[in-house]
Structure 1
Amino acid sequence: MQLPVGVVDATALIEVVKISALPTERGAPCPGEVVALWAGSEATDALASIESLPGSEQHRCGFAPGWGVRAYDDSLDLALFEAAFCFHCHEVRTHGPAVPPALTTQFFDADAPQARALLELFRASAVRG
């Protein structure tokens, strides 16, 4: 998966979100509970895991994301980007000031080892959070 240019270096904090519904309008944050905060090497490792997701073809499920991340810079003001992952249709939707239009919808292989590891990381964060 391709992340917006510069966000890996700029990210100071990641919120892990257990998504409860789709946003009511395009570009709005996905509603849900923040189950974990990742900073430092945890945030860097998570972004590397996301970047390592291999591409895939589009699958149809209606897009029902279960997990998302919001990345913030040092100001912790406005999220650099938010990514919502649907492990059923292999789609990830991103938005935010750092996201160019070409990266707003991407597809990843949800059955790949990298995707399975990311999903387990999300789930483990919710358990210990």
Structure 2
Amino acid sequence: MHLPAEAVSAAVLLEVVRISGLPDRRGAPYPGRVGAHWAGNEAAGALALIESLPGGERHRCGFSPGWSVRAYADALDTALFEAAFCFSCHEVRMQGTAVPPALDTQFFDADAPQAHALLALFRTAAP
């Protein structure tokens, strides 16, 4: 999977969100409860794991994401990007100031070991 390289380099904090619905408008954050904050090596490891997700094919489910990560720079004001993961349709939707249009929708292999590891990390962060 491809993440915006400059945003990954600038990210100092990841916020893990258990999504409870879809945003009410395009570009709004996905609603839900924050379950964890990852910084330092933990954030870097999670970003590396996300980047290691192998590509996959679209599956039809209507996009019902369960988890998202929001990446923040030092200022911690506005998210550099948010990536919402749907493990049913194998789709990731990204949004934010650092996300070029070519990266906003991607597909991953949800059966890959990396996807299982990522889902396990998300579950340990559940609020």
Normalising to structure 1: TM-score of the pair? 0.97
Matched to 1:41, the amino acid is N
| Residues 5-56 of structure 1: CA deviation (Å, up to 9, x unaligned) | 2122100100000000010111110000000000000000000000000000
Identical pairs, percent: 71
Residues of 2 paired with 1:94 and 1:9: CA distance?
17
Q: Which residue of 2 aligns with 1:54?
A: 54
Query: Structure 1: which 5+ runs fail to align?
Result: none
Cα distance in 2 between the residues matched to 1:104 and 1:122: 21
Q: How many residues align?
A: 127
Residue 96 of structure 1 corresponds to 96
Deviation at 1:95, TM superposition (A): 0.3
Letter in 2 for 1:23: P
1:58-105 per-residue CA deviation (whole Å, 9 max, x = no partner) reads 110000000000000000010000000000000000000000000000
Runs of 4+ in 1 over 6 A off after TM superposition: none
Partner of 1:22: 22
Distance 1:54 1:41 in 2: 22
